[in-house]
Amino acid sequence: MVEVTVTPQSSLADRPVQIRVWGLSPSQLVTLRAWLKDEQGECFQSRTFFRADKAGEVDPGLHAALGGSYSGVWPMGLFWFLQPDTLFRRLVKRDVAGSPFRVRLEVFDGLSMGTDPREQPLGSCEAERWYVGPGVQRVPIREGRVRGALFLPP
């Protein structure tokens, strides 16, 4: 049974997380995909190809991606290289205090480009990426032509 984990599962968006896949065959070629839908329903995704180590594990912080959205060792690459399905869209979080981005992580056997909607992942999990910590207060600022927000710690 293949498992994908993100540790911690819920974190602030600027904090690193550890992604691990285990339960694979040694040297198995897999595709790791991250995707989310923004507040307007637009899909953003990244996908990279990895070869499992001798223990049947993949850790993007230790193992080099062979290609896809990026190559090389990038522990947070699946989050940093999210691209829109629709050209010229930007990933922007408008409701920073009310809800997180929920990023879905999936692992597929072999090189998967995601063109077949019937293709089932070997394993998946979900990570929450928050933009405001617990207890932080958001105060809107409107002074003359200045507009902004002040975030006050608890």
Cα 121 to Cα 80: distance, rounded to the nearest angstrom? 22
CATH number of 3-152: 3.30.365.10, 3.20.20.70, 2.60.40.2240, 3.40.50.2300?
Answer: 2.60.40.2240
pLDDT 10s digits, 65-91: 999 999 999 999 999 999 999 999 999
CA distances from 11 to 3, 15, 80, 104, 129 (A): 20, 7, 15, 14, 5
Q: What pTM does this model have?
A: 0.88
* Domain ranges across the chain: 3-152
108-150 pLDDT tens trace: 999 988 767 778 999 999 999 999 999 999 999 999 999 999 9
pLDDT at 115: 65
